[in-house]
Structure 1
Amino acid sequence: MFLAFYPRETRDRALAFADALVAALGPDRPLSTAALQHYFVTQRRSTADGAIANVDRVAIEIDARKKQAEEVEGEEEDGNEDDK
C-alpha cells in the first residue's frame, strides 16, 4: 500500500515503512487495511520520509479508537444496569 501512495519510492523504502510500522504497533495492536489506508490519507501531503517518521500515529489512533469503544461499551453497560 505504501507504494500505491508513494509510487516513485523504492521497494526498500516500502520495507523501511513496514519495519517502522511493525515497531510502532508492537505485538498487541491489530491493524486493519482501513486503518492503514486512513493513515496514508492523513499523510497525503507528507513525503514518504514524513510518512515513515510519523508512523507512530497509527498506533496512537488505534489506541484512541479502542479507548473510545471501551467508553461507549461502559456507558451502554451502565444504562443496562439502570433498566433492572
Structure 2
Amino acid sequence: MTEAPFLPRERLFKQQNYFQNLTKHTYLKGRYDVITSVAIPLALAASSMFMIVRPWSLQHVSRDWEKGVNFSVLTSVSNWAWK
C-alpha cells in the first residue's frame, strides 16, 4: 500500500517553478517571509531605540524641572508613555 503525496504532483511542480523563477532573495520568497525577515527585526530595533531614548529624555526633564521650566505638554506625553 502506498501513501498519497501531501500535494498533487502538478501543484508541487507549479510551486517549485514559481519559487525557482523569482528574482527576489531566497529569504523573501515565501508568503510570510517578509514579515519574519523584515518586519519583526525592524519592530525590535524600533522598540529598543525607543527604550534607550526615553530614559535619556526623562533624565533631562528632571534637570529642567529644578530650573522651573513649564512641563504641561511634557507631563501629558510622559504619562502616556508610562501607560
The structure, 1 or 2, with the larger RCO (C-alpha pairs under 8 Å, 6+ apart) is 1
TM-score in terms of structure 1 length: 0.38
**Bigger Rg, structure 1 or 2:** 2
TM-score normalised to the size of structure 2? 0.38
